[in-house]
Structure 1
Amino acid sequence: MSVTLLASFLLIITLLVVWRWGNTRELNLPPGPPRSFIIGNARDIPRFSPFIRLTEWAIEYGDIYSLKLLNKTIVVLSSGTTVKEVLDKNGMKTGGRLETHIVRRVEGKIHPVFDSIDAPMWKASRKTFHAFLTSQALESYFPMQQERYLRLLRNILTSPKDVVKHTKRLSVSIMVALVYGESADNARADLFYRGMKRLTQLADPFTNPPVDLFPILKYVPARWASWKPLSDETKAMRRAFHCDLVASREEAYLAGERVGCYMEKVLDRPLGGNLTREEISVMCRVLVDGGIETQASYLQTMVLSLACYPEYQSKAQAEMDLVVGDERFPTLEDFDGLPYVRAFTKEVQRFRPILPIVPTHVASQDVRYGDYVIPEDALLLMNTWGIYHDPELFEEPYTFNPERYLHSEFGVKEGANVNGFRENLPFGAGRRICPGAEMASRTIAMNAMNLIWAFNFAKDGSGTCNIDLDNYLPGLELAPKPFTCDITPRNAKRAQMILNVTVAHG
């Protein structure tokens, strides 16, 4: 056989192997859309709002289906049942996390978010999170939080057009106080959001080069790889926000000062003495990140919902007036007696979930689901948007209607299958579920009651006050673009109460 003929034969064999590798679906893998040669479904996933396409595929292929990016398998879960069976019941097998080179460049090698669930840092961080976020502990933090909630009311009252800034600064103020026992001025809040905005952009796999699929891209010079200088700038911002807070609290701790913050919990534990300052900083950073962005985004969507749906706003206000009245501020104990307000908060969460796609899980070993086998190393996406916009479950799912929650616990149609549904479903699943879900729920309840009790919200002439998806920023988190609306106090008495109490608290 001549060399030319042998080379041609080997080339044909190679092309056939590559074609089969790039165009076939493994035995027992969940079904999914056809894929292109070599690249799989990479071109089928839009850069912006990919959850819309994932939900369209769920309608076509079912509540569990698979995609391919080159040789990487992605399994998308779009029902309460699949989330329960795959992520909750198989938490040990599906608790891995996708590690991305770009985010690691920003956050550093030490980070429990990327660690496996049996890694020492991950275990240590979860233990301290749970110790810090017990129901009893949350009660002790509430006076500090309530003071800041009332300050938010004063800031909105005196500067209503800056409502977006006010919600952001509230979230930073609370989390910095809880984690570090320190106060946070406006400049620090702005620094956090600049860094977080960049990090969110870098973490979005649909808007950046596929460095993890093509490792050679790591070596592209920075002048041709815009993500590299952006990563380095973001890293500097993130460290500038946290480093002095860590140093300040560590110094106070060694001097015997105690304020009950999270960092003290870390230092108090036996493991604390073995942690480096960098490891302590990372654990604090994880908790701060998880609390700030989600709080602010939810509150902004709540304001947009009140302004865009005045008929539901009026009904929620009428209920607040009946239960709370003009003589006092709402309390957390009021929330259970406000079914309409509760329904409103749930509908905001359903209609515009903060995380339309929950951060990726990774299977550490094969997982069986019915007749399907989810292979080891498969990426698992929890399609929260698809779950909460399923027409089989929700009447007119793309219509904002809080009253659906007055008829059923989860707002679904009569007789709908709610297997796997739970109150904290938007906060994730399995071993990776957000440990701060209870604190977030209390924050949502308290701020919703305060805002509905205190103000009237309406669209203004700016054109920015709308709740369409076009009015949301690109990225992993569903956060509104900056907006303004008309915000006025419900009456003079409530306005004066807000001014009096906030002046008393400084």
Structure 2
Amino acid sequence: MLQLLDLPISHHTQLVLGAAVCLGTVGVVVWACLPRSEYGLSLPPSPPTWSLRGHFLPVCNSFLTVAGWIDEYGPLVTIRSGTETIVIIGRHKAVVDIMEKQGGSLADRPRMIAAGEILSGGQAIGFMHAGHRFRRMRRALHSHLQPKAAEAYQSLQMAHAKNTVLDILDDPYNFQNHATTYAAATIMKVTYGKTTPTSATDPEVKEINRLFETFGAVLRPGAYLVDSIPWLKYLPWYGQELKREFERTRQLYTKQLNRVKQQLQSNVDVGPSFMKYMLENEHSYGLTETEMAFLGGALFGAGSDSTAVAICTVLMAAACFPEEQAKVQAELDAVIGRQRVPTFADQPSLPRLEAFIAEALRWRPLAPNGFPHRTTQDVIWENYCIPAGTTVLGNHWAISRDAEVYPDPYVFKPQRWLNDQGRMRDDLKFFVYGFGRRMCPGLHVANRSVFINSLLILWSFQLSLDPTKPLNDMGFMTGAMPRDRPCAIDFKMRIPEVELRRMMQSYPEVA
């Protein structure tokens, strides 16, 4: 045996041994970087992977891969991306127990250096870590956008929604552009009180939307090496294009804030707006002008695309499911008739329409993969522990397919949202706008926008798919308005065109 040890080792054997040592070292490093729990409980189960880079997720429709893992391994799964541990929640009860009931432990975001620290200079609330500044900014948004305050914008929303109907009459093929125009015009008024005509081609709207497209590109996994090697941030030459974009963003948002400030100083009454509210109450929240400017930009950017996509999702569902559309329109005819234009006042009498909207946004969630949260302390759920410092995602697609909560989850069934009396159920919900303390604060304004557009369009038109055009019924689930056309819709008037135009043109204007 001693003589064997003296034998020369071949070059091939040296390579094999070297590779084994490297793999072992990497394995130890990965193991050492995994979060630890003091409770002796394990992380949720993990699908097998032999890749040193972690689990593979396809670029397109990765939520389908995750849903398959949830079906196989249970309500929670653990995956690895390099040395980062990610827990994904894919069932309704688990997400309520963890992200709603223990929301204080998941209010943080994981570190996003390229997007959160360089591109937005640490000012964007969407990427901001939980803490005093986040709470101050969040409180400011909630104070102005809570349900009662959001009612102030209903006349504005009705006025722009009737413009959407008129735009569809003139150019039905480009209904996506009309939804984008509605969302941009409405949220520009809500945020900045801008009363000049606004559309998707408005230079300021185009610039803000371009900035948010840039954020989307920077957030793609692997887009910037600094997210894996943080010390690159401190090299003066690194990320110059991101730094230039930050300065461009700061100037744009500051310009919008200063315009509102000038209006206040000139005693120009432009009605309510978030920026006006912030400037009049700046001492209540202790925010700097830069923080206020970025908060306004975040409200506009987040509210514009998501609202437009939600409207298009409801319209696509109506075209895809004509029998369900007919039930909604029968309700509209019974409650409203065709002699007057419906308004927000009709909402309590239209549960079938509300159920249709709820089912459409469950059927095709706006953000199927969800957004990353980070635990600030250990979170216990059943026999699992999610240690502090873990990235956690609530996967909207998998949750929406939870058969225990949504029986026949792959079937479009608006009636699932109605109780025995035909009213909306109060014991069933879906998480369209996120979870816990990171839920979108503009959801009340967004819900009203989706409702009034769905109401006016389904009252005015019968929608059907264009059989000559391709359909991608998952095409709106990108988190932003897609550049292509996932579906083509034919709009058949339910009211003679001359009468419809007259009724819409006499609809209330913006106050």
For 2:482 and 2:359, how far apart are their aligned partners in 1?
Answer: 16
Q: Distance in 2 between matches of 1:496 and 1:157?
A: 8
- RMSD value, Cα: 3.6
Instruction: Compute the displacement of 1:132 (Å).
Output: 0.7
Aligned match of 2:505: 500
Q: Return the match for 2:490 from 486, 489, 492.
A: 486
In the TM superposition, what whole-angstrom CA distance separates every residue of 1:200-219 from its partner, at most 9, and x where no partner exists? 232233x7355412347769
Q: CA deviation at 1:384?
A: 0.8
Q: Per-residue CA shift, 1:19-67, capped at 9, x if unaligned?
A: 24447986611111112243221xx211111111111110011111111
* Residues 440 and 125 of structure 1: CA distance in aligned 2, closer, same or farther (over 3 Å): same
Q: Report the equivalent of 1:429.
A: 435
1:40 aligned onto 2:54: yes
In structure 1, which of residues 240, 245, 251 is the aligned counterpart of residue 256 of structure 2?
245
For residue 227 of structure 2, what is the aligned residue in structure 1?
A: 212
2:341 is equivalent to residue 329 of structure 1: yes
Q: Indicate the residue corresponding to 1:454 in structure 2.
A: 460
The correspondence for 1:118, drawn from 131, 134, 145, is 131
In the alignment, structure 1 residue 468 sits paired with structure 2 residue 481: no
Note if 1:190 corresponds to 2:206: yes
Contact 1:180–1:263 at 8 Å: present in 2 too? yes
Look up the match of 2:3.
Answer: none
Q: Distance in 2 between matches of 1:182 and 1:108?
A: 26
* Aligned CA distance change for structure 1 residues 100 and 271 (closer, same or farther; 3 Å): same
Q: Which residue of 1 aligns with 2:83?
A: 71
Residues 314 and 443 from structure 1, CA distance in 2 versus in 1: closer, same or farther, beyond 3 angstroms? same
Q: Alignment partner of 1:193: what SS? A: helix
1:414 alignment counterpart: none
8 Å Cα contact 1:152-1:170 kept in structure 2:
yes
Q: Bigger CA drift: 487-496 or 138-147? A: 487-496
Distance 1:375 1:409 in 2: 45
Q: CA 1:390/1:136 → structure 2, altered by over 3 Å: closer, same or farther?
A: closer
User: One-letter code of the match for 1:481?
Assistant: D
Identify the residue that residue 387 of structure 1 maps to in structure 2.
399
TM superposition shift of 1:267: 1.5
Q: Measure how far apart 1:380 and its partner are.
A: 0.3
The residue type equivalent to 1:19 in the other structure is: G
Q: 1:248-305 CA deviation, whole Å, 9 max, x = no partner?
A: 1121123344532111221222437964432211110121122111110011111212
* Residue of 250, 254, 266 corresponding to 2:265: 254
Separation in structure 2 between the aligned mates of residue 79 and residue 503 of structure 1, nearest angstrom = 44
What is the CA deviation profile of residues 144-181 of structure 1, one whole-angstrom value per residue up to 9, with x for unaligned ones? 22111111111111221221111101101111101111
The whole-number CA distance in structure 1 between the counterparts of 2:494 and 2:175 is 16
Secondary structure of the residue aligned to 1:358 is: coil
Letter in 1 for 2:102: N
* Counterpart residue type for residue 294 of structure 1: S
Q: Separation in 1 of the partners of 2:135 and 2:421? A: 34
- What residue is the counterpart of 2:68 in the other structure? 56
Q: Is the 8 Å Cα contact of residues 157 and 452 (structure 2) preserved in structure 1?
A: no
CA distance in 1 between partners of 2:407 and 2:284 (Å) = 51
> What is the SS of the residue equivalent to 1:398?
coil
Alpha-carbon distance between aligned partners in 2 of 1:93 and 1:196, rounded to the nearest angstrom: 28
Q: Which amino acid aligns with 1:439?
A: V
Aligned to 1:81: 93
On the 8 A contact 1:297/1:480 being kept in 2, the answer is: no
- Structure 2 CA distance for aligned equivalents of residues 128 and 484 of structure 1: 40
5 Å matches for 1:78-477? 78-104=90-116, 105-120=118-133, 122-183=134-195, 184-186=197-199, 187-188=201-202, 189-205=205-221, 208-209=223-224, 211-215=226-230, 229=241, 231=242, 235=246, 238=249, 242-258=253-269, 259-271=271-283, 275-406=287-418, 423=429, 425-460=431-466, 463-464=469-470, 466-469=471-474, 471-472=475-476, 475-477=478-480
Deviation at residue 355 of structure 1 after TM alignment:
1.3
> What secondary structure does 2:85 align onto?
strand
Q: Distance in 1 between matches of 2:331 and 2:472?
A: 24
- 1:280-336 CA distances to partner (integer Å, 9 max, x unpaired)? 111101211221111100111112122222222222111111111012111223223
Partner secondary structure for residue 426 of structure 1: coil
Q: 1:23, 1:40 within 8 Å by CA — same for their partners in 2?
A: no
Q: 1:232 to 1:49 in 2, by over 3 A?
A: farther
Report which stretch shifted further, 69-78 or 184-193: 184-193
Distance 1:497 1:375, change over 3 A: same
* TM-score, normalised relative to structure 2: 0.84
AA aligned opposite 2:53: I
Given residue 171 of structure 1, which amino acid in structure 2 is its aligned partner? Answer: A
Partner-residue secondary structure (3-state), 1:116: coil
Once the two structures are superposed, residues 107-132 of structure 1 have per-residue CA deviations (whole angstroms, 9 ceiling, x without a partner) of 22322222233232x12211211111
AA matched with 2:265: L
Q: Percent identity?
A: 24
Q: Distance in 1 between matches of 2:313 and 2:306?
A: 11
1:444 & 1:397 partners in 2: Cα distance? Answer: 23
In 2, Cα distance between the equivalents of 1:297 and 1:148? 16
Take 1:176 and 1:392, find their aligned partners in 2: how far apart are those partners? 41
CA distance in 2, matches of 1:374, 1:113: 23
Give the TM-score normalised by the residue count of structure 1. 0.85
Indicate yes or no: 2:35 matched with 1:30. no
* Alignment CA distance shift 1:149-1:237 (3 Å): farther
Q: Is 1:67–1:74's contact at 8 Å kept on the other side of the alignment?
A: yes
Query: Is 2:22 the partner of 1:18?
Result: no
* Matching residue's letter, 1:118: G
Query: Aligned equivalents of 1:28 and 1:386: distance in 2?
Result: 22
Q: Which structure's CA Rg is the greater one?
A: 2
Contact 2:309 2:366 in 1 (8 A): yes
Cα drift, residue 505 of structure 1: 6.9
CA apart distance, 1:396 = 3.5
Preserved contact between residue 92 and residue 405 of structure 2 (Cα < 8 Å): no
The separation in 2 between residues aligned to 1:148 and 1:50, in whole angstroms, is 35
Which residue identity lines up with residue 95 of structure 1 in the other structure? Answer: A
Q: Which secondary structure does the structure 1 equivalent of 2:227 belong to? A: coil
SS of match in other structure, 1:380: strand
3-state SS, counterpart of residue 372 of structure 2: strand
The letter for the 2-side match of 1:488 is K
